[in-house]
Copies of this chain bind each other. A is one copy, B any other.
Amino acid sequence: MCELNAYLADGEKEDLYLESVDVIRPENGTVYLRSLFGEERRFQGRIKEIQAIKRKILLEPSCPSGL
């Protein structure tokens, strides 16, 4: 299996956003994510980076906190 975990990358911090992600689809300033278990989320922001070997999806909010 090759599922990925999605993290919210806020500066240096990485907070877990959704585990066991199967499908990731950027859509009009949002990112649609669906987990292996059918859980669906829509993130306001963009994909910053995906690191497949580390099984990480890093998500960047469109409005970073602190601004």
Main secondary structure of the interface of A (DSSP, over half): strand
The one of B2, B23, B26, B51 in contact with A22, judged by C-beta atoms closer than 8 angstroms, is: B51
Q: Say how many copies of this protein the assembly contains.
A: 2
Task: Provide the residues of chain B in CB contact with A1, threshold 8 Å.
Answer: 53
- A36-B53 contact, Cβ under 8 Å, with A2-B2, A26-B46, A46-B26: yes
Contacts A1-B53, A4-B52, A26-B26 aside, 19 further interface pairs with beta carbons under 8 A come to A2-B4, A2-B53, A3-B52, A3-B53, A21-B52, A22-B51, A22-B53, A23-B49, A23-B50, A23-B52, A24-B49, A25-B48, A25-B49, A25-B50, A26-B46, A26-B47, A36-B53, A47-B47, A50-B50
